[in-house]
Amino acid sequence: MPMIRVEMFKGRDRDTRRAIIKEMTDGFCRATGAKPESVQVILIDVDKEDWGYAGVAHADRQPEG
């Protein structure tokens, strides 16, 4: 059973989250021929303080605002 994990910053509303799940499922099914009922999508919210690259937290690169 395929599982798609999407890690993203917190803050997306319910409708956006539903759209992400649908689009990820539909795209996977188009690409692989899998049936939608076999695909799982997990959305993982991450705080900007907990996500970094090049040694710097994203919260420090992109201040809120």
Give 13-63 pLDDT, tens digit per residue: 999 999 999 999 999 999 999 999 999 999 999 998 899 999 998 889 866
Sorted by where each starts, the structural domains of the chain and their CATH numbers stand as 3-61 (3.30.429.10)
Tell whether the model's pLDDT for residue 65 goes beyond 60. Answer: no
Tell whether the model's pLDDT for residue 5 goes beyond 60. Answer: yes
- The whole-angstrom separation of Cα 35 and Cα 59 is 38
pLDDT at res. 7: 97
Element (H, E) at 52: strand 52-53
Quick check: helix, strand or coil at residue 4? strand
Tell whether the model's pLDDT for residue 64 goes beyond 90. Answer: no
